[in-house]
Structure 1
Amino acid sequence: MNPLDTLAALLKAPMGLIRAATGKSRAELFHLLPHDTAATLYALTAVYGSTTDPAAVICAKAIEDNHHSLDTLIVIEKLAKRVKSSRKKWQLRRLLCHTKGNPKQIKKRGLTLLVELATPRTRKLGVSVSRYSDQLWSMRITGPAAMIASLYDPVKNADDPVDALHQAITGGRSVETILRPIVTIPLDKADTVLDGTGDETVFSCSDGVTRTSCEIVGARLDDNWGFALIHPVEGPVDLVRSKRFANTKQRVLAAVENPTCAWEGCNKPADECQVHHLLPWQYGGHTTSSNLTTCCAYHNGVNDDDPAGPSTRGRLERVDGTVRRVYH
């Protein structure tokens, strides 16, 4: 490869150049490269060179997947400079890195996103919960000033504000959370789903016998437990209890498979999620358990529904029996 070909390859696929420069000081890069090139590369390594920052890693992969050039990254960073909030900067970067196109197209898309990010968010009455992996959660409530003040007053000087708020709301009475356990029974890979449209699913089992879902778990079924049948390829196929779940059966199955939103990194519990069609109805998808999953309202809204269309944020699909986000 001659020097011109080498330069063209680096400009078209800049992540290799960025990774090579990551860890070098500004002075080292200025010693190796022309001033403007060194300054540009140093700024890009600070944003996309990290291997531990999840946001940087996601953007770097998207840059490579969408074959973005060095010119495109320069356009993205010029747009990002116009955003004050660090969170919104990364939001803009992620959206643009996942957008296919040349620098001109990326700039056009970015200018539209800048308007959307600058639009003030309208406050709505409600409550939101942030759930963290260390089992410490936080709750944010938005409501009329007088009511929030009345809730804040008994906790603002308390040593244990959570307990103080609990006491103020419940009057000292305990609040009980009732759990409903469901046992998952894996099916043999050789088992074939013959009919999943009726009240029970019918299987052709690997021993040559045709059985219903109730018959498969009958020996282990009692009045207080439920059994979810999870196929290793097709995903959830049936839920059996001593009493029918009727129209809620598919929702329960979706929650059994994904107790939280199926979008990676989202901890919204299934009880607060929507039932999402992996292949939407308008594109030929059916309301079967293998085509359903739990998804929070936000990720349901940003999911790229069209399986043949451009993938900006990615879309949930079932891959080898597991629901995960993919890009096309």
Structure 2
Amino acid sequence: MNLESALRYLATAGMPLVDLVYERVNNRESRKNIGQDYGLPARRIGQIHRVARDLFEGEGEQLANRRHCAQIARDARMSIDTLITMNKTVNRVNDHAAREPLRRELFEYAVSKSFEEVEAHAKLRLQEINERHPRTAHDQRWLRISGNPDTNGMRFMLARLTDSDAMALANALDQTAREFQKGDPKLSRQQAMADALVARVLGGTGASKSKVFREPVLLVPSDGCTYMGNGLLATSDGAIVPAREHMDSLLSEFGYATMWAPDLEGKMQHVDLWRTRRTANDKQRMMMVIDQLICADPECTHTAITSEAHHIEAWKNGGHTNVDNMVIACRPHHARNDDDRELQRYGHLTRDPVTGQACRQLVDEHRSRRYHQFPLAQYNGRNWVLNHELHTNNLYKPEEPPPD
């Protein structure tokens, strides 16, 4: 097949692509891995999978209509971009009862039409339908903050507000921004408004003064000590001392501090107290945040500080609320987990049995666990203490995760 033939086939292979992605995602493959196989970003794989779910899943008359639309697309050999555009349009209809009739209308219209014709018709029909069923401006508000910093260590924020709220916010920030510019004439208007927003919301006098989620943490190695459980350490001379007393003897005022020590089996453990409550307390959450920095799922980059404490052995199954039975996970990955192992749907979040690193065990127990490769994860407290033990006590030798 030459290049021209390949492009012509791609222009008509929308449904084969939808079938392929749907099958691979249902086999528990991540969008990232699928995208890497075909040189596509995970976002694009997600768009195709959304088309698949909206054509292959549903109930009753809804499912019958979707199957009819899928058959139209197959027979007409529609492109993937045409399918994505129509699917996005349907999902933006405010009146849910009007979505399936519009889906059928668009698919029937798209037969023998160009992408541009379908796109223009879809926009027109969406506008007409939503004018009859408008959403209130209040319902359309949102605020988005990027999940990861850019190469300059900056994050992006974008908001959608009603005209009155946006103007009120701008007016509230204006005076503070003017004061900042008087104090520093080099500040641009945009920079001054950004500093004013931080100052008004977080306190202080500008962005550089913000301390939210940025408190110092001192990681303390427990050289010569063995963790005995229940917050007790055995020193090299045989004495048993409470970990708090040992920590107090090493620390002054440095903010948060946490300690790891090898247990009797040589496995690195957080030094912590057992507890009977289900939810993690603030101390435990902070220890896990330091341990991971980001969500335990290897495909996720959600920050740990805004995520949730997740029980490895579910609380309902008798799992205790102690750090060695918990990891930090974002809300979607906290829910997307096989608490009951026999379900075998998603796999489950766990810890490496040797290093204690947070990871995901795949559904197939014979396949390797997946570990985070995101750069920020490499700077977490767990990696720091493991490297410390390797170089000072030669406690263990870290190994690369085995290939699947």
Give the alignment's TM-score, normalised by structure 1. 0.55
Which one of 159, 168, 172 corresponds to residue 141 of structure 1?
159
Measure how far apart 1:220 and its partner are.
1.1
Structure showing the higher helix proportion among its residues: 2
Aligned equivalents of 1:249 and 1:309: distance in 2? 33
* Secondary structure of residue in 2 paired with 1:268: coil
Using the TM superposition, give the Cα deviation of residue 259 of structure 1 relative to its aligned residue in structure 2, in angstroms.
2.5
Q: 2:242 aligns with which of 183, 202, 212?
A: 212
Q: Deviations over 1:225-283 (max 9, x none)?
A: 443112463543339xxxxxx94211221122122323335443333222222222012
**Structure 2: unaligned runs, 5 residues or longer:** 24-28, 38-42, 67-86, 95-138, 175-186, 274-279, 364-404
Residue aligning to 2:298: 264
CA distance in 2, matches of 1:277, 1:259: 17
Counterpart Cα distance in 2 of 1:90 and 1:187? 51
Shift of 1:59: 3.2
Q: RMSD of aligned C-alpha atoms?
A: 4.9
Is contact 2:35–2:45 with CA below 8 Å preserved after alignment? no
Residues in 1 aligned to 2:349 and 2:44: alpha-carbon distance in whole angstroms? 27
The residue that corresponds to 1:325 in the other structure is 360
Aligned length in residues? 242
- Matched residues in 1 for 2:288 and 2:17: separation? 44
* Aligned equivalents of 1:121, 1:132: Cα separation in 2: 33
Structure 1 residues 305 and 108: alpha-carbon distance in aligned structure 2, compared to 1, 3 A threshold: farther
Matches within 5 A, 1:137-176: 137-151=155-169, 161-167=190-196, 170=199, 173-175=205-207, 176=209
Would the aligned equivalents of 2:199 and 2:205 in 1 still touch at CA under 8 Å? yes
Aligned pair in 2 of structure 1 residues 210, 276: CA closer, same or farther (>3 Å)?
same
Matching residue of 1:23: none
Distance, in Å, in 2 between the alignment partners of 1:299 and 1:192 is 31
Mapped to 2, the partners of 1:149 and 1:298 lie a distance apart of 34
Sequence identity percentage: 20
Residue 255 of structure 1: SS of its match in structure 2?
A: helix
Find out whether 1:59 has 2:34 as its counterpart.
yes
Does 1:294 pair with 2:310?
Answer: no
Give deviations 1:64-108, integer Å, cap 9, x for gaps: xxxxxxxxxxxxxxxxxxxxx835335559xx9xxxxxxxxxx99
Higher-strand-fraction structure: 1
| Amino acid of the structure 1 residue aligned with 2:291 | E
In 2 relative to 1, CA 169–274 (structure 1 residues): closer, same or farther, beyond 3 Å? closer
Question: In the alignment, is the contact (CA less than 8 A) between 1:275 and 1:294 conserved in 2?
Answer: yes
Structure 1 portions without partners, runs of 5+: 1-25, 49-53, 64-84, 97-106, 196-200, 240-245
Question: Hey, what does 1:67 align to over in structure 2?
Answer: none
TM-score (norm. length: structure 2): 0.46
- CA distance in 1 between counterparts of 2:168 and 2:155 reads 22
AA at the equivalent of 1:315: H
Contact 2:217 2:254 in 1 (8 A): no
CA distance in 2, matches of 1:109, 1:236: 48
Deviation per residue, 1:275-312 (Å, 9 max, x gap): 22222201221110112232222322223333332132
Within 5 A, what are the aligned runs for 1:94-113?
Answer: 111-112=57-58
Partner Cα distance (1:303, 1:126) in 2 = 28
Matched AA of 1:146: S
